[in-house]
Amino acid sequence: MTPPDMRKPEALWAHMRHTLAFYAPRVMDPSGGCFQFFKDDGAVYDRRTRHLVSSTRFVFNHALAWRWFGGAVGDVAHALAFVREAHAQPQGGYAWVLDWQDGRASVVDGSNHCYGLAFVLLAHAHAAEAGVPGAREGIATAFALMEQRFWEPAHGLYADEATPDWQLAPYRGQNANMHACEAMLAAHAATGKADYLDRALTLATAIARRQAALAGGLVWEHYKTDWTSDWDYNRDDRTNIFRPWGFQTGHLTEWAKLLLMLERRLGDAAPDWLLPTARRFFDTAMKHGWDATHGGLVYGFAPGGAVCDGDKYFWVQAESLAAAAWLAVRTGDAGYWQWYDRLWAYAWQHFVDHEHGAWYRILGNNNTKLSDEKSPAGKTDYHTMGACQDVLAALGVQPPARGIA
């Protein structure tokens, strides 16, 4: 099954619409927020569980629909209100998991995660661009909370997790900081405030240079409290989707994309290490992550390059094709467009659900389906539609002008 020419804006727009169409008729819960658990055919199989990551990412999705296709600002506001009113806790944080029933929230997991706060910041940034009341102020509030509770100035990075009463856990991780960098770029785009761009560069420098130097020039996931590498964390646990062991193929390419976005936003002030580092991350991910037998990128590889998790995840393919496009545009190297086309061809054949819409979440090493759960908590196709939007940005394609409602 051959995809259309995904270098053309029209094809990217069509694919975003196709994905939005999967969620649009069934995602909105009139009692608050969005449903978050969908089978392949769109059936909702859990109407009550609400995860902070999904709640915030649905704000992004609805803002994307507004930005490109004239979606309703009210939908963005509806999704953001759930984050601000249901997830927000009296202690100042945001509950990780809620049980939502009859318009009332019960806390299932009240722990505070910097990863979650990064998406709270991202959600407010995209809602602010759509003109949602209070969203711009929410950017500053979310940033201040991250600074107060998680920022470690001696390391130039954020801590990872805290109890509901803000006792920090010893674990430190790069993933929360990577998404914090993404959120800072979005906050800068929404406000123009230099503080956010400065923080994005600080985070990128700490992870992509200092921490990477501890791991042969690549991004390791897990660290101890003093930010020394923890080489054994979750080594034998493949169930933790937020803290997997090994070098993550998709995180290397996601960082490659973020470094190039940061470079473009910094302009003449961009340091000269951003591009070569982005190339090294992407090229290494393709070298060790591409499955030459079955196609697609594997989830993770061990130090030394051996595959440690051969499953194929939707977001790894999506982030990697976006990174390939940014590298192709930035360098003029046709090899990156070849990777872009190869990744789209693989995803089009194996991940895109051409019948119902959206992408399947996970496939086995040989591309067999492992589940009929298309979108459990965390997966909202923010990665897939975001990748299309990122490719459009790489190509310099601007959204249509819209008045702020």
Sequence-distant (≥ 6) Cβ neighbours of residue 368 within 8 angstroms: none
354 assigned to active site = no
* Catalytic residue of the set 15, 126, 222, 251: 251
Residues 6+ apart with CB under 8 A from 197: 184, 185, 188, 262, 265, 266
In this structure, are residues 53 and 60 in contact, taking their beta carbons and an 8 Å threshold? no
Cβ–Cβ contacts within 10 Å for residue 362, how many? 20
- How far, in Å, CA of 261 to CA of 228, rounded? 28
Q: At what angle do helices 249-266 and 314-331 cross, to 10 degrees?
A: 40
Helix, strand, coil distribution of the chain in percent, nearest 5: 50, 15, 35
Say which DSSP state 228 is in: -
Nearest-5° Cα angle at 38, 32 to 40: 155
Closest CA to 227 of 210, 241, 243, 242: 210
Instruction: Give the other-Cβ count within 10 Å of 241's Cβ.
Output: 16
| Token pair listed for 212 | 């990477």
251 is catalytic: yes
Burial class (CB within 10 angstroms; exposed 0-12, middle 13-18, buried 19+) of 348? middle
- Residues marked active site are found at 251, 383
